Amino acid sequence: MTTTGERFDLLLEPFRAELLAYCYRMLGSSRDAEDLVQDTFVRAWRAREQYDEARSSLRTWLYRIASNACLTALEVRGRRPLPSGLVAASDPRGALVPGENAWLQPLPDSMLDVGDPARTLVDRSSLRLAFVGALQHLSARQRGALILRDVLSFSASEAADILGTTVVSVNSSLQRARARLREAGVRPEGLEEPSAPEQRAWVDRYMQAFLNADIEALKGLLTADVLMEMPPMINWFVGPDNYGVFMEWVFAKGGTEWCLLPVEANGQAGFAAYGRVDGGYELRTLQIFTVSTDGISRNSVFRDFDVFASFGLATGLDAGQVPVSVLGSDHHAR
């Protein structure tokens, strides 16, 4: 026999994916978002007798609990920007410089649970790294107001209820948030971009050029204003020529024998890059791409073991267990 508590758990579960996406947009960390969703469910379960469906929907009530958890967390955890939103562009010939910030982390698509019907409520474009990175420059309440109103389409009164404030305050926060994003050249609605299969095809072509260490082929897949950044390093730069210079350094330092494994994060295609070492391959970076109709416009390169762990990536691969199809040209030549 199902208990009242168990029935309540079943009512909560369909909201997990969208709450995870909400907390991630607020905090910029997949691990923190996962922790806060779990905390939200625990708080909701403990307060289940206080829930009144005549006053608000279960969804609105859960967002209120999640928002309180996020706002409290942001008081101590601070923002998670990307380097391109914090410091000036770098010379690709310069030394890599580590930053001291807690940087934005990608959100594995697998965490949204493809089999969950609630996943259809998650706006993929509002999970793009550039958008979530821009959100980190807003105050916590501006961030909440913009996500609730412009991304999740709550009414002003609903957003005020969720954030524990007034409609006037929500509208003021929303106006300031929109203005800040306009200044940054970012907007929450989806941009013109290829379909998911087309984006994957662009990245697959990039992967093949990378495996061949073909810098000219890589540059040919990039837009004129392509941006590469590499948290936790603060270095970032713009343009195919700078990109090519940096890739020359990558292949000179890291060699041309690589194993690349496809990944999906933030509704974007990417791959994990393993460099050759004695006996196998060592995980070096996780790369997530933004693709426009003209080509690859952004590459966010992460070298963070917490990020690697969130994707369930092995830190090393045995050479004998790696499919030839994901290996570089040096291996094929042997």
37, two tokens: 């969703």
Task: Tell me the CATH number at 3.
Answer: 1.10.1740.10
pLDDT by residue (tens digit) across 178-212? 999 988 877 655 456 788 899 999 999 999 999 99
Q: Tell me, what's the pLDDT at 304?
A: 93
What whole-number percentage of the chain has pLDDT above 90? 77
Q: Tell me, what's the pLDDT at 325?
A: 57
Average pLDDT of the segment spanning 161-186: 94
Task: Tell me the CATH number at 286.
Answer: 3.10.450.50
Enclosing domain of residue 24: 1-78
Mean pLDDT (the chain) is: 90
Average pLDDT of the segment spanning 145-173: 97
Residue 90 lies in a domain: no
H or E element in which residue 281 lies: strand 280-292
For the cut 90, the answer to whether the pLDDT of residue 94 exceeds it is yes
pLDDT by residue (tens digit) across 39-80? 999 999 999 888 888 888 999 999 999 999 999 999 998 889
For the cut 80, the answer to whether the pLDDT of residue 4 exceeds it is no
CB 111 within 8 A of CB 35: no
Rounded CA separation 301/312 (Å): 17
For the cut 50, the answer to whether the pLDDT of residue 333 exceeds it is no
Task: State whether residue 222 is helix, strand or coil.
Answer: strand
Q: Are residues 6 and 34 in the same domain?
A: yes
Residue of 191, 201, 210, 184 lying closest to 273 (CA atoms): 210
Q: Are residues 214 and 230 in the same domain?
A: yes
Q: Are residues 213 and 143 in the same domain?
A: no
Average pLDDT of the segment spanning 32-38: 96
pLDDT band at 267 (very low <50, low <70, confident <90, very high): very high
Average pLDDT of the segment spanning 128-143: 94
Task: State whether residue 87 is helix, strand or coil.
Answer: coil
Residue of 126, 137, 35, 22 lying closest to 78 (CA atoms): 137
What whole-number percentage of the chain has pLDDT above 70? 90
| Total domains, the chain | 3
Bridge partners of 298?
Answer: 227, 290
pLDDT by residue (tens digit) across 207-226? 999 999 999 999 999 999 99
Average pLDDT of the segment spanning 134-162: 96
Residue 106 lies in a domain: no
Q: Are residues 173 and 213 in the same domain?
A: no
How far from the centroid of its chain's Cα atoms is residue 120's Cα? 18
